[in-house]
Amino acid sequence: MMKWDWIFFDADETLFTFDSFTGLQRMFLDYSVTFTAEDFQDYQAVNKPLWVDYQNGAITSLQLQHARFQSWAERLNVAPGLLNDAFINAMAEICSPLAGRRFAA
């Protein structure tokens, strides 16, 4: 039998549902920004190609995390890494299990 040191699960949209628009709205409230549907479209226009680049090995995860928030970081005078961390925290707060998934206690 093989021994494994680690087991990784792809949680997003496999075990949990994440509403990134709601997560971004929640995150930006901390910066007194009302994040709109138009803002979300602009974010997606940047974010989606970055994920393709990451999946193709053209950029690192850190580059993705920073690049997707670069324009907002400049507007808010905040490091893009801080915005990414705030986004991850907001997403953790709002995520919920996908329907039909059961978890052992």
Active-site residue set:
10
SS3 content of the chain, % helix, strand, coil (to 5): 55, 5, 40
Closest CA to 88 of 65, 64, 54: 65
Neighbours of 74 (CB within 10 A): 10
